[in-house]
Amino acid sequence: MYKERRVEAAARDVLFHLPQTSVVSGTRSGSRPELGGFAGFFDLKTSGYEDPILVCQTKGLGAKLQMAQACRRHTTLGQDLVALCVNALLPHGAEPLFFLSYFACGKLDAEVTETIQEGIAEACRSAGCAFLGQALSQLPGACSAGDSDLAGFVVGAVERGQVPLGLQRAEEGDVLLGLACPGIHGRGFGAVRKVLLVSSLRCSSPAPGTCGDTTLGEALLSPARLYSPALLPVLRSGHVKAFAPIAEEGLLGGISRVLPEHVGAVLDALSWKIPEIFCWLYKEGNLSAEEMAQTFPCGLGAVLVVQQDLAQHVLGAIRRREEAWLIGKVLAPCHTGGSHIQVENLVEALQQSSPQGLLGDTTMEPRHQPRRRKVKVAVLVSGTGTTLPALIAYTREPGSCAQLVLVISNKSGVEELRNAARAGIPTRVIDHKLYGSRSEFDSTIDRVLEEFAVELVCLSGFMRVLSSPFLRKWKGKILNASPSLFPLIKDGNAPQEPPQSGFKVTGCTVHFVLEDSGARAVIHREPIPVRAEDTEQALAERVKEAECRAFPVALQLVASGAVSLGADGRTSWKQESQSLGLHGEKGDCTSSLVAPEPPEHGGE
């Protein structure tokens, strides 16, 4: 143990000093790397500004970091982090001065950490800012060896007299310019995860439309573009009315940030190039055009608002260094109650950009293209469950294969009923105390489920034992989450014992509910480490959090048809669902964006 701690301490010491060599090469005026010590130094007086205002931004990679870990590809993370932070300064016309980063992990990996640092240093050189260093934290008790978090902090400057860009300057008749960005960032990875859960492709599979030289993981991890060198002179010229980076958002949400409320906009999706990865997500995720526009930037990374007579001049200046297009125009607002931003020809643009055959018959009119029907789901509650909000959120996200149509409670006045009502989901109270037998109570539930054409049932803290006839009728259609990693631990109370019990890992299991209470048809497990400082209550709360992550994953697997209950009472995986691998049998699964392969012989 002592030797192990010495090795880890030595690794931290070496890795902490790695950024210093990166700072020395490619620094900008104002950085003071020779001062060293426990902090980064920057001399603002020598930075070239007379009366500067400092502009700051901090960002993290979030789910994209999880994707990189799953794909074991970290080479683009540095540029991604720097680009997202630096681009966020541009709406204010600010130039980046210096950058700091923070990397936390369960166990330090020298190669991964050095790769990320080198990527950050190279991106900072491209952006013209100093990389003052990276703070490293090893948190073995807080996260597992493969988990990590990466965040960046940038400080920029703009002269006090520089005219700031402002949303209120956009007006009817102005035009919109869009800059290219091939990758996916931010909120889009929520939908990516759902698509990958039901896809036959792995991260190592050739990306759709390529000749095998690019993998799907590489396409999904394409980094954000660094716009500062190309755009800063343009933004400071006074010819741009508004600017917003939109790589982390969908088209609709991103573009709305550059417009005041009193105007609208129309975009023509045929006017810019949409990368093939978005075509694949559109088809594989069974998404609508509206969901694509709400969730993904569809090949755009930033949008500028420019006066019409200056548009070609500004576009020409940008094209000297970046790929850009005239993508739309600002209109008078629409008062019909719909969105004030319209994206025209998006389906046609996706068809044009798709590899041959990816979207099937491209001559078919978009309105006639069938979309897969979502599976109707009901949730049974008793007032003690915690997973209903997570299930509501999941079913509302693009890429979800399920539709939550009903919440049934055997108790009135519980919080779950209020949550469902706020979400616009029908509710029913079926009080078990009003029925003379369990079978009569279950029969009433069954009639209500049939009334709403329910196909799958989720139990969220439902405190009634369902009868054998009910379970036989709904065999393979009822899901529940249990606070243990069975079959490794079959006692539901075991994970909540204190760490002295000897358990080093606990978690939850989502499984099919069967008539035989001893059978465990596992769909998905979510393991969590047991910390030395854990109490029973703290551990129980973390298990509940794990259930909120695991239940939506399991529901997606079953609703998509990737997982079902076999005739032998075991979990059955579709042969093509090879990118999942949420090991129903081996017990080493996680809820990462991409997991290993499924078991060869099904689950328990």
| pLDDT tens-place string over residues 33-46 | 655 666 778 888 88
pLDDT (0 to 100) of residue 238: 87
Residue 583 counted as domain residue: no
Cα–Cα distance between 246 and 341 in angstroms, integer?
Answer: 14
Residue 317: pLDDT over 60? yes
For 174-212, give the DSSP string: -EEEEEE--S--TTHHHHHHHHHHH-S--TTSBPTTS-S
For the stretch 449-506, pLDDT in tens is 999 999 999 999 999 999 999 999 999 999 999 998 865 554 444 444 545 556 778 8
Residue 102 vs residue 187, higher pLDDT: 102
CA atoms 311, 313, 314, 319: torsion sign:
positive
The answer as to whether 481 is a domain residue is yes
Paired tokens of 487: 């079959």
Question: Residue 248: what pLDDT?
Answer: 83
**pLDDT of amino acid 432:** 94
CB atoms within 10 A of CB 372: 10
For β-strands 375-381 and 402-409, DSSP reports them as parallel
d(CA 293, CA 342): 9
**Per-residue confidence (pLDDT) for residue 175, from 0 to 100:** 96
Domain final residue pick, 110, 131, 159: 159
Question: Are residue 346 and residue 440 in the same domain, yes or no?
Answer: no
- The answer to whether residues 381 and 343 belong to one domain is no
Query: Which residue type does 34 have?
Result: E
Q: CATH code at 266?
A: 3.90.650.10
> What pLDDT digit, counting tens, does each position of 171-184 carry?
899 999 999 998 88
Give ∠ CA 580-581-584 in degrees, rounded to 5: 125
With a CB cutoff of 8 Å and minimum separation 6, the contacts of 565 are: 475, 476, 512, 514, 521, 571, 572
The model's pTM: 0.74
Residue-level pLDDT at 524: 93
Specify the DSSP element, H or E, that contains 218. Answer: helix 216-220
355 and 382 part of one domain: no
For the segment 527-571, what is each residue's pLDDT rounded down to a tens digit? 988 887 888 888 899 999 999 999 999 999 999 888 999 988 889
- CATH at residue 34: 3.30.1330.10
What pLDDT, on a 0 to 100 scale, did the predictor assign at position 485?
Answer: 84
> Quick one: average pLDDT of 124-151?
82
| DSSP tag of 434 | G
8 Å CB contact between 556 and 400? yes
How do beta strands 402-409 and 427-429 pair?
A: parallel
Bridge partner residues of 376 (DSSP): 403
Question: Is the pLDDT reported for residue 601 higher than 80?
Answer: no
Q: How many residues does the chain have?
A: 604
Q: Any bridge partners for residue 326, and if so which?
A: 177
pLDDT top residue among 343 and 363 = 343
Distance between CA atoms of 102 and 282, rounded to whole angstroms? Answer: 34
What are 109-123's pLDDT values in tens digits? 888 888 999 999 999
pLDDT at position 170: 85
Other beta carbons less than 10 A from residue 54's beta carbon: 12
Q: What is the mean pLDDT of the chain?
A: 82
Indicate the residue among 159, 192, 227 that finishes a domain: 159
Q: What is the pLDDT of residue 415?
A: 94
Q: Is residue 292 part of a domain?
A: yes
Average pLDDT value for residue range 154-174? 82
pLDDT digits (tens, 9 = 90+) for 198-242: 787 888 788 876 655 788 888 888 888 999 999 999 998 889 999
Q: Is the pLDDT of residue 15 over 50?
A: no
Helix (H, G, I), strand (E, B) or coil at 368: helix
Distances in Å between the alpha carbon of 405 and those of 379, 432, 453? 9, 22, 9
Q: Is residue 589 part of a domain?
A: no
CB neighbourhood size of 421 (10 A): 12
Parent domain of 485: 375-573
Q: Look at residue 105 in the predicted model and tell me its pLDDT.
A: 83
Inform me whether the pLDDT recorded for 335 exceeds 60: no
Q: What is the mean pLDDT of residues 83-89?
A: 94
For the four alpha carbons of 578, 581, 582 and 583, in that order, the dihedral sign comes to: positive
Share of the chain above pLDDT 90, in %: 47
The token pair that represents 472 in the structure block: 């036989």
Give the pLDDT mean for 49-67. 90
351 and 468 fall within a common domain: no
220 Cβ neighbours under 8 A, 6+ residues apart: 67, 71, 183, 184, 192, 203, 277
Least confident of 209-213, 258-262, 338-342, 438-442: 209-213
Q: Which of 281, 219, 283, 209 is nearest to 250 (CA)?
A: 281
Separation CA 284–CA 355 (nearest Å): 13
Answer yes or no: do 383 and 532 share one domain. yes
In a domain, 136, yes or no: yes
Radius of gyration for the chain, computed over Cα atoms and rounded to the nearest angstrom: 27
CATH number for the domain that contains residue 475:
3.40.50.170
Do residues 275 and 357 both lie within one domain? yes
Q: Provide the terminal-to-terminal Cα distance of the chain, rounded to the nearest Å.
A: 37
Residue where a domain terminates, one of 120, 137, 159: 159
* Parallel, antiparallel or unpaired: strands 375-381 and 456-460: parallel
Residue 604 lies in a domain: no
Decide which of 73 and 153 is more confident: 153
Return the percentage of the chain with pLDDT > 70, whole number: 78
Do 173 and 245 reside in the same domain of the chain?
A: yes
CA 457/CA 434 separation, integer angstroms: 22
**Number of structural domains the chain divides into:** 3
Q: Give me the DSSP letters along 298-336.
A: TTEEEEEEE-GGGHHHHHHHHHTTS-EEEEEEEEPPP-S
Range with the poorest average pLDDT among 4-18, 248-262, 465-479, 567-581: 4-18
Q: Are strands 324-331 and 175-180 parallel, antiparallel or unpaired?
A: antiparallel
DSSP H helices, 251-406, are: 251-256, 276-284, 289-295, 311-319, 346-353, 388-395
Identify the residue whose tokens are 């129903």: 584
Residue-wise pLDDT tens digits, 259-311: 888 889 999 999 999 999 999 999 888 888 999 999 999 999 999 999 999 99
- 243 contacts 305 by C-beta, under 8 angstroms: yes
